[in-house]
């Protein structure tokens, strides 16, 4: 029966649904992990009292559900003097690219059935612009933040938004230049090629500097601590000061979805994608390998957040322009020289 | 005058990354430490399920009105505690004991002595102010009521508060 | 005039005065217990010791008269030592139960101890104990706390001449006792001994354990009981406490001395009159029009409208202050209304009467000075508009009848009073008046002394001064007083000029 259903069309639908559901589930899990992880790092207990049927406590796993319900049922107030249209679409603008980006990432080994090749990524891997597509969409995300901050008609919001945009522009440069190294080594913009090129030796080893630059920029791109200038709860509250209820949760979801996408990208570009010794011999195994790597990078996000304090704004800019950008250029030159004369 | 500290970083410090990794090592070690500590041994005492056993004696909890061995109140309704109370939590109505006897030379006693436990901030000033050691704060910390009125407790309840560490 | 030197400064003083009086005049504080300006000099407490140059020992300031060229030191080492010693002796057999002593907070022994002694007791033996007694219906005596200054004994023998208290036994066993409780009950001045007792030995039964004095606010006011115009302190509870509802309640009245008036005591009737003012239930809380409560603004505009007639009358009141009366007078003058004054209520005087006046109203003199006609001279009583000022207290019964008929006959009648009376019941509109403690007000007493009574608490409920209801353009009571003084007495007068002792006309 399964065989009958397995044709490129149904498989596509299947992939979309699974990926979307998986990402959203992961978002929920990430919020849980964030809070529990933070608690444990700080020798606390964390949320653990949400219980199924009021009895079974399942380590607080019910918390994201409860939070979601709470946010859902909160009154949605439209503050006075906001730009109604922009105010409403801003969360949507930031949420959609966050989930769309994942479409390009191959999360498993392609397989052949009945003579047809099936790919485990939503977009067909022969879209020649895989990497470009991702960066294009990632760049979109910050629009949501800027529009949200602007439409709120609140000085704290606009401050947060302005800082976020400056930061994203600065770090996108370094990030993209770092990725150019990866593209050179694979000789293609296609993500499946990049993964293929890493068979045996993950990019993180030869392009260590690039990996570091990418990793750091990733934090800046997703507005995560130590670079959470868009939010900055302790000083300016951030671009979503005026948001509440589902609009707020959309921003919230976008932040975590962005984290997941960024993790997926890091895994694809530097950690060999779904490659893993032995495990990647089967299709399922390769998906598992990918998910494990992704979860690890995701955990790094949380881990770093609860380790490092926030940078000062000037420090952030200095780091971006004076350290990250030169480093990525150095990485690029090394890789280019290597491929021009060495390999 | 601002004090400027001259900090010189060597190249190792300037990379930052070693320090970052060191920090991350510390946080993750705490993570695993807490993860593998059974809940009963963690710092956090999950209150309604578990209770703190060793409340120190100097803890400032529920008030107690002390009595002489024969059961008469030590309190003489002098208002010293009410005067000292920063939260205005103490209400006293005095009574004139016209026939005081030789053993308890008391002229004045409280007819009503109420403490509003919801107003009280458990500062212990009342205990400090009392000239008769009549009011003390015990280490009973479970002070819960289901209404505002129930939080206003009078002499009968106050003398029933147990001393530190049971009794 | 002779010259004396006090603490190395020269002063010109009158001959025949004592050192203590002279020092007081120049603001030099000499502690004392037994000295009282209105009583004879006893010189038994030894608290007032000062050093006089040439004298081998310190002298009692209260009983030593100044002489020319005298050099006095009030805070030399010897004096300090002497005060310390005296206080230690007084405290030897003192119970020091300040926490339950009603004097605590205004006790001379406490004050002087902290100021001049502040040392631990070296006495190790059990202290002598007497029982606390209610020696009369009004007074209790705690002989343990007595410092044996005999002020109380002297007051009762010299001022009231009733001799109820006396000292018994000798030496350190001496104590005060009451020999005639019945006479003390009937003595109309007996309660003064609780004021003049410098410590907590004599107290009022009514104030016993009622309120700690630091929970009260002392307001200097003028007694409303009669036209003697005694200065009093009104103690108002100022305990802002959620649990305690008696905020702004008057807890007692006690003496405020006025040397200019020669008044050092008050009568018991005045002292216990505070209860009349605590009756919140029967206060007129809001303006009432024919039994209906209306807002203040409505009342103001209603008066304006109704007073727009030709034939109106305003009847002032000897029970109200100058300010309230004069506001009504100005209102009447502006409209050409008639102004009358009622006669004061006269009461039989108790025995002894001392300074008590027959007329039971604090401001009778003002209306007299204004030469207003009496209400008995009202000819036609069918006015279109009538305004009467009434207060807690009584007026002459004949005037009462007359005023009632005026109020009943008039087309529209207004009564301004704090507590609803027969007048208010017969008026169309009743305005809530403040009681004396709620407003600044001046009174002219029988001896033509203008004195000020201070505002101590906020206007209660919706009560307002009359000039507010009559919409007269004044910003404060003080302006009204100035206008009154200018127009009626032809002098410049303001609260500053009145000072603490009043202004003699
Ligand atoms: S503990 Fe402090 S706040 Fe509470 S009753 Fe005593 S003095 Fe008042
Ligand atoms: S508890 Fe102590 S301080 Fe309070 S009224 Fe009683 S004796 Fe005075
Ligand atoms: S008389 Fe004065 S010193 Fe003596 S107990 Fe009373 S307050 Fe204290
Ligand atoms: S009772 Fe008071 S006034 Fe009388 S002698 Fe004693 S201390 Fe003095
Ligand atoms: S005041 Fe002088 S001896 Fe008492």
Tens of pLDDT, residues B60-73: 999 999 998 888 88
Q: Which residue do the tokens 């003199």 mark?
A: C365
Extents of the domains making up chain A: 78-342
3-state secondary structure C220-232: EEECCCCCCCCEE
- On the 0-12 / 13-18 / 19+ scale of CB atoms within 10 A, B5 is exposed
What residues of chain A have any CB closer than 8 angstroms to a CB in chain B? 37, 39-45, 212, 303-304, 306-308
Are C159 and C38 in contact, with CB atoms under 8 Å apart?
Answer: yes
pLDDT at C73 (0 to 100): 94
CB of C209 within 8 Å of any CB in chain B?
yes
Report CA torsion sign: C439, C440, C441, C447: positive
* Atom in ligand 5 nearest the alpha carbon of residue C32: 1
Tell which atom from ligand 3 comes closest to the C-alpha of C200.
1
CA distance A282 to C410: 111
How buried is C495 (Cβ within 10 angstroms: 0-12 exposed, 13-18 middle, 19+ buried)?
middle
Chains that contact A by 3+ CB pairs under 8 Å?
A: B
Mutation test residue for ligand 1: of B116, B122, B130, B135, the one with most atoms within 8 Å of CB:
B122
Q: Give the gap in angstroms from C-alpha B142 to the nearest C-alpha of chain C.
A: 23
Residue B139 pLDDT grade (very low, low, confident, very high; cuts 50, 70, 90):
confident
Cβ of C176 less than 6 Å from ligand 4: yes
More confident residue, A55 or C361: C361
Beta pairing class for C429-432 and C412-417: parallel
Chain B, nearest residue to C208 by Cα = B96
Predicted pLDDT of residue A60:
82
Contact B76 C214 (CB under 8 A): no
Give the contacts of C256 (CB within 8 A, at least 6 positions apart): C220, C231, C232, C233
Whole-number Å distance between alpha carbons of B147 and C286: 35
- Contact residues for B91 (Cβ-Cβ < 8 A; gap 6+): B82, B112, B113, B114, B115, B116, C241, C243, C244
Shortest distance between the Cα of C419 and any Cα of chain B, in A, equals 29
Ligand closest in space to the Cα of B121 = 1
Q: Do residue B31 and residue A212 have CB atoms under 8 angstroms apart?
A: no
C132 at interface of B, judged by CB pairs closer than 8 A: yes
**CB distance from C129 to chain B under 8 Å?**
yes
Shortest distance between the Cα of B23 and any Cα of chain C, in A, equals: 52
> Does the pLDDT of residue B166 top 50, yes or no?
no
Look at residue A145 and tell me whether its pLDDT is greater than 90: no
Q: What is the pLDDT of residue C264?
A: 93
Which partners does chain B have (≥3 C-beta pairs < 8 Å)?
A: A, C
Range of the domain at C397: 288-504
3-state secondary structure of C24: helix
pLDDT the model gives residue C101: 92
Which residues on B lie below 8 Å from A212 (Cβ)?
17
Q: Which atom of ligand 2 is nearest to the CA of B76?
A: 7
Contact map slice: C 75-104 vs B, CB within 8 A:
97, 99-100
Contact of B3 with chain A, judged by CB distance below 8 Å, is answered with: no
pLDDT of residue A294: 93
Q: What is C139-168 written as a DSSP string? A: EEE-GGG-----HHHHIIIIIS----EEEE
Domain for residue C198, yes or no? no
pLDDT tens-digit map of A63-104: 888 888 888 899 888 888 888 899 999 999 888 888 888 888
pLDDT in tens, B93-125: 898 887 665 566 688 899 999 999 999 999 999
Which tens digit of pLDDT belongs to each residue from A286-337? 889 999 999 999 999 999 999 988 888 888 888 889 989 999 999 999 999 9
The answer to the question of residue C213 being in a domain is no
What stretches in chain C show pLDDT beneath 50?
none
**Do residues A260 and A294 lie in contact, with contact meaning Cβ atoms separated by under 8 Å?**
yes
**What's the CA-to-centroid distance between C95 and ligand 4, angstroms?**
15
Inter-axis angle of helices C477-484 and C322-335, to 10 degrees?
Answer: 70
Q: Tell me: pLDDT of B21 over 50.
A: yes
The answer to whether the CB atoms of B46 and A45 lie below 8 A apart is yes
Q: Is the CB of B84 under 6 A from ligand 2?
A: no
Q: Which of B76, B88, B103, B107 to mutate against chain C (most C CBs within 10 Å)?
A: B107
Largest distance between two CA atoms of chain A: 67
Specify the higher pLDDT residue, A329 or A124: A329
Q: How far apart are CA C274 and CA C251, in angstroms?
A: 8
pLDDT value at residue B167:
41
Contact criterion met (CB below 8 Å) for B37 and A44: no
Strand stretches in C312-421, DSSP E: 312-315, 338-340, 385-389, 412-417
Q: Are strands B108-116 and B152-153 parallel, antiparallel or unpaired?
A: antiparallel
For A305, which residue in chain B has the nearest alpha carbon?
A: B24
| φ, ψ of residue C103 in degrees (nearest 5) | -80, -20
Residues of chain C neighbouring B95 (CB-CB closer than 8 A)? 209
A79 phi-psi bin (left φ>0, alpha ψ -120 to 50, beta other): beta
Overall number of domains in chain C: 2
Is C64 among the domain residues?
yes
- Let me know if chains C and A touch, i.e. at least 3 Cβ pairs under 8 angstroms: no
A146 pLDDT more than 80:
yes
Distance C199 CA to ligand 2 centre (A): 22
Q: Does C190 fall in a domain?
A: no
> In this structure, is residue C341 part of a structural domain?
yes
Distance CA C118, CA C114 (A): 5
Residue nearest to atom 7 of ligand 2 (CA): B75
Which 8-state DSSP code applies to residue A340?
I
Q: What is the pLDDT of residue C336?
A: 87
Q: CB atoms < 10 A from the CB of C258, how many?
A: 21
pLDDT at C5: 92
Round to whole Å and give the CA distance between A57 and A50.
Answer: 6
- Burial class (CB within 10 angstroms; exposed 0-12, middle 13-18, buried 19+) of C397: exposed
Instruction: Report which ligand 1 atom has the smallest distance to the Cα of B121.
Output: 3
CB–CB of B24 and A304 under 8 A?
yes
Interface test with A, best of B34, B42, B44, B50 (most A CBs within 10 A): B34
Nearest CA in chain B to C102: B78
Q: What secondary structure letter does DSSP report for C387?
A: E
Give the single-character DSSP code of A118: E
C394 lies in some domain: yes
List helix spans (H) across B15-104. 17-35, 80-84
Query: What b/e readout covers A305-336, taking b as 16+ CB neighbours within 10 angstroms?
Result: bbbbebbeeeebbebbeeebbebbbebbebbe
Is the Cβ–Cβ distance between C36 and C151 less than 8 Å?
yes
Task: Please name the residues in contact with C215: beta carbons below 8 A apart, sequence gap of 6 or more.
Answer: B79, B83, C237, C238, C239
**CB neighbours of residue C483 within 10 Å:** 18
Find the ligand nearest to B109 CA.
2
C214 touches chain B (CB under 8 A): yes
Of all protein residues, the one whose alpha carbon is nearest to atom 3 of ligand 4 is C197
Give me ligand 2 centre to Cα C191, in Å: 29
Half-sphere exposure of B18 (CA within 13 A, CB side): 6
| pLDDT digit string, tens, across residues A40-49 | 999 988 888 8
Check A41 against B35: CB less than 8 A apart: no
* Structure-block tokens of residue A87: 């105010």
**Final residue of a structural domain among C29, C56, C90:** C90
The partner residue sitting opposite B43, judged by closest CB among A43, A303, A306, is A43
Structure tokens at C149: 């200054």
- Are B108 and C215 in contact (CB < 8 Å)? no
Choose the final residue of a domain: C67, C90, C113: C90
- Number of other residues whose CB lies within 10 A of the CB of residue C228: 23
Chain C hits for B85, Cβ within 8 Å: none
Closest partner residue to B24 among A37, A212, A303, by Cβ? A303
Closest-lying ligand to the alpha carbon of B61?
1
> Cβ B116–C244 below 8 Å, yes or no?
no
Nearest CA-CA distance, residue B91 and chain C, Å: 6
pLDDT at position B29: 94
The answer to whether the CB of C363 falls within 8 A of the CB of C321 is yes
Residue ranges lining ligand 5, Cβ < 6 Å: C 32-35, 43-48, 60, 62
CA B149, B152, B157, B159: dihedral to nearest 10 degrees? 180
Measured between CA atoms, how close is B30 to chain A, in angstroms? 5
Whether residue B88 and residue C100 make contact (CB cut-off 8 A), yes or no, is no
- Among C40, C58, C90, the domain boundary falls at C90
Which ligand ends up closest to the CA of B93?
Answer: 2
CATH number of the domain that residue C358 is part of? 3.40.50.740
Q: Which residue of A has its CA nearest to B40?
A: A45
User: Is the minimum distance from the CB of B73 to ligand 2 under 6 angstroms?
Assistant: no
CA distances from A130 to A100, A125, A151, A168 (A): 13, 7, 33, 21
Whole-angstrom distance, CA of residue A114 vs CA of residue C475: 102
Q: Say how many C-beta atoms besides its own lie within 10 A of residue C264's C-beta.
A: 22
The rounded Å distance from CA C11 to ligand 5 centre is 22
Residue C347 lies in a domain: yes
C125 lies in some domain: no
Which H or E run contains C443? strand C441-444
Mean of all residue pLDDT scores within chain B = 86
Interface of B with C (CB under 8 A): 76-80, 83, 88, 91, 94-96, 98, 100, 105, 107-108, 114, 116, 119, 131-132, 152
pLDDT band at B164 (very low <50, low <70, confident <90, very high): low
């Amino acid at each position: 029966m399964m065989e009958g259903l397995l044709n490129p069309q149904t498989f596509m639908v299947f992939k979309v649904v699974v990926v979307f559901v998986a990402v959203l589930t992961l978002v929920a899990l990430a919020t849980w992990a964030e809070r529990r992880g933070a608690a444990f790092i700080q020798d606390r207990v964390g949320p653990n009292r949400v219980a199924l049927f009021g009895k079974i406590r399942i380590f607080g796993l019910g918390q994201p559900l409860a939070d979601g319900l709470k946010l859902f049922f909160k009154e949605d107030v439209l503050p006075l003097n906001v730009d109604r249209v922009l105010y409403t679409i801003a969360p949507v603008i930031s949420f959609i690219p966050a989930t769309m980006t994942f479409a390009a990432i191959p999360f498993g080994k392609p397989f052949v059935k009945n003579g047809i090749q099936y790919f485990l990524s939503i977009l067909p891997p022969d879209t020649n612009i895989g990497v470009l597509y991702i960066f294009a969409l990632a760049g979109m995300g910050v629009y949501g933040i800027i529009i949200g901050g602007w439409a709120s008609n609140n000085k704290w919001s606009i401050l947060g938004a302005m800082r976020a945009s400056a930061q994203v522009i600065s770090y996108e440069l370094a990030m993209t230049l770092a990725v150019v190294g990866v593209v050179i080594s694979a000789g293609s913009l296609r993500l499946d090629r990049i993964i293929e090129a890493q068979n045996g030796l993950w990019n993180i080893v030869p392009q260590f500097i690039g990996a570091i630059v990418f990793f750091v920029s990733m934090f800046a791109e997703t507005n995560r601590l130590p670079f959470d200038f868009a939010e900055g709860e302790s000083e300016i509250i951030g671009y979503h000061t005026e948001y509440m209820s589902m609009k707020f949760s959309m921003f919230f979801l976008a932040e975590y979805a962005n984290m997941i996408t960024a993790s997926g990208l890091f895994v694809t570009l530097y950690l060999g994608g779904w490659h893993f010794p032995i495990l990647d011999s089967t299709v399922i195994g390769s998906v598992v390998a990918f998910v494990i790597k992704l979860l690890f990078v995701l955990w790094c996000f949380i881990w770093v957040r609860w380790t490092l304090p926030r940078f000062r704004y000037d420090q952030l800019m200095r780091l971006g322009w004076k350290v990250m950008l030169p480093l990525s250029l150095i990485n690029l030159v090394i890789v280019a020289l290597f491929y021009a004369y060495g390999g | 005058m601002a004090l400027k500290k001259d900090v010189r970083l060597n190249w190792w410090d300037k990379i930052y990354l070693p320090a970052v990794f060191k920090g991350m090592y510390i946080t993750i070690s705490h993570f695993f430490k807490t993860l593998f500590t059974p809940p009963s041994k963690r710092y956090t005492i999950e209150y309604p399920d578990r209770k703190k056993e060793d409340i120190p004696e100097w803890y400032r909890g529920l008030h107690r009105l002390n009595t002489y061995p024969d059961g008469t109140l030590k309190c003489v309704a002098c208002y010293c505690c009410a005067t000292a109370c920063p939260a205005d939590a103490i209400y006293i109505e005095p009574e004139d004991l016209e026939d005081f006897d030789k053993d308890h030379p008391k002229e004045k006693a409280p007819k009503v002595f109420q403490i509003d436990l919801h107003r009280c901030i458990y500062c212990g000033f009342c205990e400090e102010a009392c000239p008769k050691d009549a009011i003390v704060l015990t280490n009973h910390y479970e002070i819960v009521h289901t209404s505002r009125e129930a939080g206003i407790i009078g002499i009968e309840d106050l003398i029933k508060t147990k001393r530190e560490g049971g009794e | 005039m002779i010259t004396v030197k006090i603490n190395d400064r020269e002063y010109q003083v009158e001959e025949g005065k004592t050192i203590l009086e002279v020092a007081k005049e120049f603001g030099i504080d000499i502690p004392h217990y037994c000295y009282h300006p209105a009583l004879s000099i006893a010189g038994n407490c030894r608290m007032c010791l000062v050093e006089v140059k040439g004298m081998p020992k310190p002298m009692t300031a209260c009983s030593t008269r100044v002489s020319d060229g005298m050099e006095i030191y009030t805070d030399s080492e010897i004096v300090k030592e002497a005060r310390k010693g005296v206080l230690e002796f007084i405290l030897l057999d003192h119970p020091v139960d300040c926490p339950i002593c009603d004097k605590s907070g205004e006790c001379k022994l406490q004050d002087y101890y902290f100021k001049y002694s502040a040392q631990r007791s070296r006495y190790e033996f059990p202290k002598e104990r007497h029982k606390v007694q209610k020696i009369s219906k009004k007074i209790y005596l705690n002989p343990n706390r007595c410092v044996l200054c005999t002020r109380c004994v002297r007051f009762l023998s010299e001022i009231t001449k009733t001799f109820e208290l006396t000292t018994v036994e000798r030496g350190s066993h001496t104590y005060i006792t009451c020999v005639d409780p019945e006479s003390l009950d009937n003595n109309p001045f007996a309660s003064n001994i609780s004021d003049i007792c410098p410590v907590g030995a004599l107290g009022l039964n009514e104030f016993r354990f009622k309120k700690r004095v630091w929970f009260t606010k002392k307001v200097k006011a003028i007694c409303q009981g009669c036209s003697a115009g005694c200065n009093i302190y009104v103690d108002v509870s100022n305990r802002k406490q959620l649990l305690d509802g008696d905020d702004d309640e008057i807890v007692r009245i006690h003496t405020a001395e006025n040397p200019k008036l020669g008044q050092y005591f008050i009568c018991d009737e005045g002292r216990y009159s505070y209860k009349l003012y605590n009756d919140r239930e029967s206060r007129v809380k809001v303006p009432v029009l024919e039994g209906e409560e209306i807002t203040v603004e409505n009342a103001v505009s209603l008066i304006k409208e109704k007073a727009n007639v030709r034939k109106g009358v305003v009847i002032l009141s000897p029970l109200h202050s100058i300010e309230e009366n004069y506001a009504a007078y100005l209102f009447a003058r502006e409209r050409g209304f008639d102004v009358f004054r009622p006669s004061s209520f006269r009461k039989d005087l108790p025995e002894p009467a001392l300074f008590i006046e027959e007329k039971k109203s604090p401001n009778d003199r003002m209306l007299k000075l204004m030469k207003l006609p009496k209400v008995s001279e009202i000819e036609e009583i069918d006015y279109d508009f009538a305004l009467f000022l009434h207060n807690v207290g009584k007026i002459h019964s004949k005037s009462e009848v007359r005023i009632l008929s005026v109020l009943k006959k008039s087309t529209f009648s207004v009564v301004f009073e704090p507590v609803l009376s027969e007048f208010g019941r017969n008026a169309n509109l009743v305005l809530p008046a403040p009681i004396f403690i709620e407003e600044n007000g001046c009174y002219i007493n029988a001896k033509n002394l203008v004195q000020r009574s201070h505002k101590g608490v906020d206007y209660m409920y919706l009560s307002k001064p009359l000039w507010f209801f009559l919409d007269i353009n004044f910003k404060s009571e003080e302006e009204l007083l100035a206008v009154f003084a200018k127009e009626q007495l032809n002098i410049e007068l303001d609260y500053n000029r009145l000072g603490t002792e009043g202004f003699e006309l």
